[in-house]
Copies of this chain bind each other. A is one copy, B any other.
């Protein structure tokens, strides 16, 4: 996750802007302002204007932003103006849920392959997928030119699987296993751990 010019924290807010803008179009709204968008997201209008100004001038004084235009621009910036194939590793309960989730496609992603190392699961079907053997990640992921992966394996397998994915050319990993991954600089990693989020909140509870 190398930073060049733009702060990583700014990049991290763009997907939320994009998401809320999509909600607006679904309600046939055509334009919005930094103030309106900010109120919905709990972010100051100045911050939104500043963030967007890092990438160009997308608004008009007096009238605000064209929602459809801003969506297009954000999709280009975030490189989701195309659909990324995802390799999903781990066909447990969570893997099942993700494999069957219908919300990826119109936001720039598509689960393309599902892997597991359990012989009982390999060859079985999940949604539209046949579960592949984790041992074949190297060849299959590389051949399919997949650059993005999601990890829903046990902690004990996470590091090893992640390394195999990187060797196969994966450059971005979303890790659901509650453990940090040690990977080369050039690989992006994000973590999703509901318990970390819950513990963050319980701190504030009387």
Contacts and interface: CB of A to CB of B under 8 A. Distances in A.
Interface of A: 1-2, 11-12, 14-16, 18-20, 23, 40-42, 77-80, 84, 86, 92-94, 96-98, 100-101, 103-104, 107-109, 147-148, 150, 155, 171-172, 174, 178-180, 182, 188, 190, 192-205
A178 B93 contact: no
B98 A194 contact: yes
A114 B188 CA distance: 35
Contacts of A41: 180
Contacts of A147: 205
A197 B174 contact: yes
Contacts of A96: 93, 97
A103 B195 contact: yes
Given A97-B94, A172-B205, A108 B192 contact: no
B97 A179 contact: no
6 contacts: A15-B199, A16-B196, A40-B180, A41-B180, A107-B195, A190-B200
Contact of A198 (B148, B180, B197): B148
A98 B176 CA distance: 12
A46 B109 CA distance: 38
Chain multiplicity (copies): 2
In the A-B complex, list the 9 residue pairs whose CB atoms are closest, starting with the nearest.
A93-B97, A15-B199, A172-B201, A188-B201, A190-B197, A15-B196, A94-B97, A79-B202, A97-B97
Contacts of A200: 11-12, 14-15, 78, 190
A40 B182 CA distance: 8
Nearest to A8: B200
A104 to B, nearest CB: 7
Contacts of A155: 23
Contacts of A40: 180, 182
A190 B205 CA distance: 14
